[in-house]
Structure 1
């Protein structure tokens, strides 16, 4: 091709890339994430906010939750607020299903979100890539529904759960959670922000002592 043609092609490609990069990400109806414990209410403005990005089938996310929970309990909701964002890692085959399950349960009973997340953490090894390699998606969804979801929300709510799991809203909410994490620069789980700033130890579990040493200088100083 001649030089003018090459320049024209380069301009067209660059314009296309800029258009894609500049596209507006979908804005959710509510802020992404699930507040742990009692809603902070008016105390939110005076609390240190810890945001945790977890994948329900990530072993490091599982190990990171108990020390963070313990640290938050140490201070109380008025001093430290914890918000968990779901971040389904693409290399964990069943992560999207797990996160979609939690979003669906939230619509039925918001107080069941953390019990279900902890169920996933407790039994996640059964949903790793290798144990489910020969199972169909339908089988995996059925196992999660019967073994994890049903004990948390009760048999009476299963029909509503199944309908919600298969509608476009739960799919969209899960996609938004992933895109929200990407927009914040999250690359793996667990990933933490404290008052909006990324924590240096993100990517691996943070122990209780480290949480206390991180939060102590901040509590009560906002």
Structure 2
């Protein structure tokens, strides 16, 4: 036994070391994918971004009830502020939601085929989320779940793209994108959904649903503190 360490403290030290190594391996295990070729996430509305734009990052799981409940007020707030707010949604498929990873992969597939269909599909997952809870697919094989979700996802794209959605699950790039999103969440210290960052900082109550008034109370003071927006340093995303 190491000097000065009790057996219990030694065990805790070893557990901490193992946890650190596991996290490090998760972030570096696929060197070819990190960093990715572009910033992770789905941009809610494409518009010009300048130094005064308020950036919201939302970490959501398409099969998470709290993510589902958090989306309408967040969307309402972002629509209210328009170009003053830039929203990026990062997917974090939680391991205890059996179908979260396949659903997240479907979102990446649809996004590659038609970016305008990404958020409609996310909202469709939220609307019919009960279909994908653990108990509902308990007796289905993994292949059956993939086929079920692939067919579900084709509702938001043209019928001509159905075969592309189905074959997208055989494309390693869609798997890689979904893995990168998970690793990105881990790199930011996010382990639950929904989690929100505003201008790079985690909200203190980001693991709970924020209503529309709550978002207004967060964003209004930030806009007021800026005064007149500057026109310099404008970038297009």
Q: 1:89 & 1:174 partners in 2: Cα distance?
A: 12
Match of 1:30 in 2: 38
Pair 1:89 & 2:94 matched:
yes
Calculate the TM-score normalised by the size of structure 1.
Answer: 0.86
Match of 1:162 in 2: 166
Question: Using a 3 Å threshold, how does the CA distance of structure 1 residues 139 and 184 change in structure 2: closer, same or farther?
Answer: same
Match of 2:233 in 1: none
Q: 1:121 & 1:57 partners in 2: Cα distance?
A: 7
Q: 2:133 & 2:110 partners in 1: Cα distance?
A: 21
Question: Using a 3 Å threshold, how does the CA distance of structure 1 residues 134 and 202 change in structure 2: closer, same or farther?
Answer: same
Match of 1:111 in 2: 116
Q: 2:141 & 2:22 partners in 1: Cα distance?
A: 38
Match of 2:206 in 1: 202
| Number of aligned residues | 203
The answer (yes or no) to whether the contact 1:44–1:81 under 8 Å persists in 2 is: no
Write out aligned runs for 1:99-178 (5 A). 99-146=104-151, 148-178=152-182
TM-fit CA distance, 1:202:
1.2
TM-fit CA distance, 1:18:
6.6
Match of 1:98 in 2: 103
Secondary structure of the residue that 2:58 maps to in structure 1? strand
Pair 1:188 & 2:192 matched:
yes
| Runs of 5+ unmatched residues, structure 1 | 1-13
TM-fit CA distance, 1:139:
1.5
Q: 1:163 & 1:132 partners in 2: Cα distance?
A: 22
Match of 1:7 in 2: none
Pair 1:46 & 2:49 matched:
no
Calculate the TM-score normalised by the size of structure 2.
Answer: 0.81
Q: Which deviates the most, 159-168 or 127-136? A: 159-168
Among 50, 55, 59, the alignment partner of 2:61 is 55
- Moved segments of 4+, more than 3 Å: 17-25
Secondary structure of the residue that 1:219 maps to in structure 2? helix
TM-fit CA distance, 1:45:
3.0
Among 196, 212, 216, the alignment partner of 1:212 is 216
Q: Which deviates the most, 182-191 or 160-169? A: 160-169
The answer (yes or no) to whether the contact 1:68–1:208 under 8 Å persists in 2 is: yes
